[in-house]
């Protein structure tokens, strides 16, 4: 395990990429939990409305997140292959 920590493509590199994503997802989860706690203090109707509103928000945002992730695949591929002239069209069409 110690050999994999500092090697190319090892645990350190993996955590450098994954940790910001983990923290971002955790912050969304904590925010939703705290919002629902506050809504439960306000009224049960507001708390009941939070779930469908959150699902509608997620559905709307997922379209844009999916498009960005789709384009990210091509941008990473072109950057790795040093085909920088292809990055702009991939982002624009994404």
**Cα dihedral angle (66, 67, 73, 74), rounded to 10 degrees?**
170
Give me the tens of pLDDT residue by residue for the chain, a chain 94 residues long.
778 887 777 888 888 888 988 898 889 889 989 998 999 999 999 989 988 988 898 889 888 888 888 888 888 888 889 888 888 888 887 6
**What is the model's pLDDT at position 25?**
82
**What is the model's pLDDT at position 34?**
93
Q: How many C-beta neighbours within 10 Å does residue 90 have?
A: 19
**What pTM did the predictor assign?**
0.54
Determine the 3-state secondary structure of 87 from DSSP: helix
The answer to whether 50 and 36 are in contact (CB under 8 A) is yes
């Amino acid at each position: 395990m110690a050999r994999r920590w500092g090697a190319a493509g090892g645990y350190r590199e993996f955590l450098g990429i994954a940790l910001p994503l983990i923290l971002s997802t955790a912050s969304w989860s904590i925010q939703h939990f705290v919002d629902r706690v506050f809504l439960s203090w306000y009224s049960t109707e507001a708390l009941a409305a939070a779930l469908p509103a959150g699902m509608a928000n997620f559905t709307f945002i997922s379209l844009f997140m999916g498009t960005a992730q789709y384009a990210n695949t091509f941008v990473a591929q072109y950057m790795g292959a040093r085909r920088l002239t292809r990055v702009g069209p991939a982002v624009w069409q994404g």
